[in-house]
Amino acid sequence: MVTDAAELAARVAFVHEQYGQPALVEKYIAGREIQVSVIDLNGTGEPLVLPPSEIAFAPPTAGRPWPIYTYTAKWDETSDEYKKAPVKVGVRLPEAAWARVSDAVTRAYHLLDARDYARVDLRLTDAGEPFVLELNPNPSITSVMIDEGLPGVGFTYDQFIGALVRNAAARVPGPAGARRKRG
């Protein structure tokens, strides 16, 4: 995180020098960090949106004023960051906010030509506006978000895995999304 043009220039220079590639610069969006899994059990291209999960950040501190889900917060179970950013599953959102989140998730899924399953991470502002941060086209297949979310749309984990196999078997080589006709 940077807060002024000089810090930005220094960080971009660091990325160029360290990694030898362009830097991606994003505006910080304040709000709740929501993760939503989507699945396509029928191979139709129309995904089902699973109930949302949320990164339940601890309140900001002087040393950590912005709630950001870092690599350490996600993977280092011994770190303070990890302990202060648990994932809450089965989160309830106000109806209007959930409608906007669900729409944004579905549009991102289609825009990026995702298939079978994906996870969309977004920020939800205090005004209830969703901002997509990223779409993960291959999130953990054993994710608690999928496992806990499937009953919310009337499916089991075994049905989900079976659908992935059937969807893959129905594809023909060629452009993503090409499918054989089912008999």
> What are 21-24's contacts with CB under 8 Å, separation 24+?
none
Query: What's the Rg (C-alpha) of the chain?
Result: 19
DSSP letters, 96-113, are HHHHHHHHHHHHHHHHTT
pLDDT digits (tens, 9 = 90+) for 41-56: 888 888 999 999 999 9
Give the per-residue pLDDT at 183: 46
Q: Where are the domains of the chain?
A: 1-28, 31-170
Average pLDDT over residues 52-72: 89
When pLDDT is cut at 50, 70 and 90, the band that residue 61 belongs to is confident
Average pLDDT over residues 152-169: 89
Whether 174 shows a pLDDT value over 90: the answer reads: no
Residue type, 112: L
The overall average pLDDT reported for the chain is 89
Q: Do residues 87 and 74 make contact, with C-beta atoms less than 8 angstroms apart? A: no
Q: Which residues contact 133 (CB under 8 A, 6 or more apart)?
A: 26, 29, 33, 121, 122, 123
Give the per-residue pLDDT at 169: 84
Strand, helix or coil for residue 135: strand
Whether 135 shows a pLDDT value over 90: the answer reads: yes
31-170 has which fold? D-amino Acid Aminotransferase; Chain A, domain 1 (3.30.470)
Give the per-residue pLDDT at 148: 86
Average pLDDT over residues 61-88: 90
Average pLDDT over residues 133-142: 91
Q: Do residues 89 and 144 make contact, with C-beta atoms less than 8 angstroms apart? A: yes
Give the per-residue pLDDT at 66: 87
Q: 14 versus 169: which is more confidently predicted?
A: 14
Give the per-residue pLDDT at 176: 56
Could you report how far apart the first and last alpha carbons of the chain are, in Å? 54
Kindly state the percentage of the chain with pLDDT values over 90: 64
Cα(124)–Cα(146) distance, integer angstroms: 20
